[in-house]
Structure 1
């Protein structure tokens, strides 16, 4: 099957060549009576060509058999997403693969897909603070950094299971900081410091707290 991108470009080329030929023909005839509206008859061809080319280039043409990742992201990450999709489809009960795929979606900014994958993982694996926090984060970015009821509910459930869940607290702290609620952000970061979680970068947390405090002055 012909590549739709080349098909679009071919149609565009054909349209422009036809426009030029008609212009030359009218000029050679010295025709000044025929209205200039003749070229509008080719507008549908131009639009079709441009649409096909753009549709193909953005990776939406027939969804590329639903196998291709968003081509606006890094090609290595796109290849990883395709690989994980196929692996997950072959092992639909493997929650580890789902987790890897969801993380890859998040890295690629494909938050809608990340939420869908994490929901599947939640159904198979059950609730945990970490997983609920990941769901809240993906939904938060999917919704353009807005707190909608779904993401708020996941935050509440995550903190009910673990009040010091790192992912959830960092998400809340970052949102507070970006919205200039610096005291609130400091509270979340300080709670993480007090939790003595060895997996957290204490120096980075201390710097974040100092930065937020400087903005309160």
Structure 2
């Protein structure tokens, strides 16, 4: 921020100079005019004196002409020393008034429409947050400075949920949906926040949101889990088994939440057997997704990056949320490197590669270690998540800010 204000001060001084230099020149011009007038008066006095001496017979005609010529030369010499001066049509006081008003008006306009808040926020974001509370405070500052930032609203909602603040989370997810559109992953988070904010009751609004999500993405893990919990609490055990079975089929074998889901399914089965009702068959497992990516650095960038610069390799939905689905972190020293991205690399459990038919692969170099912005990047056109061949990704494009 200090650098910005120093630069602004330099520009302000330059603008003031453009206003004040003509005023100072005008003062000098006035002095020159006063001296010229004095010289003319002295010339006229000298001519009058010569005429009087000629009339008294003290000078002859030749001496009179010589005296007149000498006086004229002296007047011309004094005039040439002063030079031709042009008075400013603005006068003297208008530039002075403008020089006083300019800093005040510039500061007021910048505070009203400038980006000081965004600049301060950018500097704060350069350092990683140390606590969840600090991360939430930064996200709150971000959405205040950038109210149309759907990604910031989404992560703010996630952070509120981590703090057990579902009411505020529901409001943040609602803003994310309003800014980014009715994407299933955003609607799912919104429905879940509303469910916990409403004392874990499946209202008509929540059900409608969940059904809208499953109509677009039948494999959405958030809604499948939410509907399974709600069905179990309302003793609709067959529905609970159906939803939880579909969810378990999507989870990796080593997923920590899988045991809890399977335990819930077992309890629901016991309830159905005790009632003498039929037990539904478990859902089939979803094939695992793994994308292989070979990442390298363009030769012309070798002397423009440092070995310790961070490299992020990630996949994001070709049509969906802007946040990464899966990511790996490397350094420039590791390049070239071959990495694999799968559901086990998911940034969030409810957003996995297997839930999207196509993704875009991106690699970014960031000296600050930020996955959202850096100095150089490379990307590929959308590829199918079922693709088995290795994708070649070259980092060769400067970031545009």
Give the TM-score taking structure 1 as reference length. 0.57
Q: Which residue of 2 aligns with 1:132?
A: 187
Asked if 1:170 is matched to 2:225, the reply is yes
Cα shift at 1:88: 2.2
Cα distance in structure 1, aligned partners of 2:158 and 2:143:
13
Give secondary structure in 2 for the equivalent of 1:164: coil
Q: Which residue of 1 aligns with 2:172?
A: 117
1:133-212 aligned within 5 A: 133-194=188-249, 196=250, 198=252, 202-212=258-268
Cα distance in structure 1, aligned partners of 2:152 and 2:196:
22
Note closer, same or farther for the CA distance 1:207–1:105 as it changes in structure 2 (3 Å cut). same
Cα distance in structure 2, aligned partners of 1:174 and 1:109:
18
Please state which structure has a larger fraction of its residues in strand.
Answer: 2
Is this contact kept in 1: 2:202–2:230, CA < 8 A? no
Q: Which residue of 1 aligns with 2:145?
A: 90
Asked if 1:213 is matched to 2:240, the reply is no
Give the TM-score taking structure 2 as reference length. 0.32
Cα distance in structure 2, aligned partners of 1:113 and 1:105:
7
Cα shift at 1:89: 1.6
Cα distance in structure 1, aligned partners of 2:173 and 2:153:
7
Note closer, same or farther for the CA distance 1:119–1:97 as it changes in structure 2 (3 Å cut). same
CA shift digits 1:61-82 (9 cap, x unpaired): xxxxxxxxxxxxxxx5444322
Cα distance in structure 2, aligned partners of 1:202 and 1:106:
21
CA shift digits 1:141-197 (9 cap, x unpaired): 111112223222211211111122110010011122233332221110112244x45
- Greater relative contact order (Cα < 8 A, sep 6+): 1
RMSD (Å) for aligned C-alpha atoms: 2.3
Cα distance in structure 2, aligned partners of 1:80 and 1:113:
15
CA shift digits 1:56-105 (9 cap, x unpaired): xxxxxxxxxxxxxxxxxxxx544432221012222323222211110111
Cα shift at 1:198: 4.5
Q: Structure 1: any 5+ residue segments left out of the alignment?
A: 1-75
Range with bigger deviation, 185-194 or 203-212: 203-212
1:40-119 aligned within 5 A: 76-119=131-174
Q: Which residue of 2 aligns with 1:50?
A: none
Q: Structure 2: any 5+ residue segments left out of the alignment?
A: 1-130, 275-401
Number of residues paired by the alignment? 141
Cα distance in structure 2, aligned partners of 1:210 and 1:81:
38
Bigger Rg over Cα: 2
Note closer, same or farther for the CA distance 1:106–1:198 as it changes in structure 2 (3 Å cut). same
Range with bigger deviation, 115-124 or 78-87: 78-87
Please state which structure has a larger fraction of its residues in helix.
Answer: 1
